Amino acid sequence: MKLSLKTKKEIEKKIDKFIEMAEDLIEFSWKEKKDGEQEKEMTIYKERVGRTQIRNILDMATQVESISALILFIKYQIGRKQIPREWGEKLIEKISELEFLAEEIDKENKNEVMHEISKLFLGYMYRDFVYKHEMKELRNE
């Protein structure tokens, strides 16, 4: 089902919110900690949450319309240790927040809206990750 023009406009109004949510998640994965154990844990995030993992999640979101299938894929990636558990759970939490926004946008077509905004959110997350990764690389040169 195609989204109505009204629904598309409502989605557009929330773009800044999706970007903010995406940036928060990437900031969570890059946050530097001072004590030894947490610093080591965050180093693991930097090594393990990479472009490929984020791109795989984005690709999955574009291939399936079911948010449950997307969440299951994220859990699968956590189980395979392709992404850290804490980061994956935070991602699932953000996707769950999107469900409330989808209902605000268009209650009758919540599933279609959810599919669309989850793709937007994950796309913004990927772009922010690439930017922050490149900036980190430049600082380390």
How is the chain split into domains, by residue range?
A: 11-30+51-140
Distance between CA 99 and CA 80 in Å, rounded? 26
* Paired tokens of 38: 């947490």
pLDDT at 60: 95
3-state secondary structure of 104: helix
pLDDT at 75: 98
User: How does pLDDT run along the chain (141 residues), one tens digit per residue?
Assistant: 789 999 999 999 999 999 999 999 888 776 555 555 555 444 445 556 778 889 999 999 999 999 999 999 999 999 999 988 889 999 999 999 999 999 999 999 999 999 999 999 999 999 999 898 777 766 765
* Paired tokens of 56: 């795989």
pLDDT at 134: 79
Beta-carbon contacts of 44 under 8 Å, excluding residues fewer than 6 positions away, are: 84
Compute CA distances 5 → 55, 65, 113, 114, whole Å: 29, 20, 12, 16
Compute CA distances 58 → 32, 62, 73, whole Å: 25, 6, 11
Distance between CA 40 and CA 91 in Å, rounded? 20
Cα angle vertex 112, ends 102, 8, to 5°?
70
Distance between CA 124 and CA 39 in Å, rounded? 26
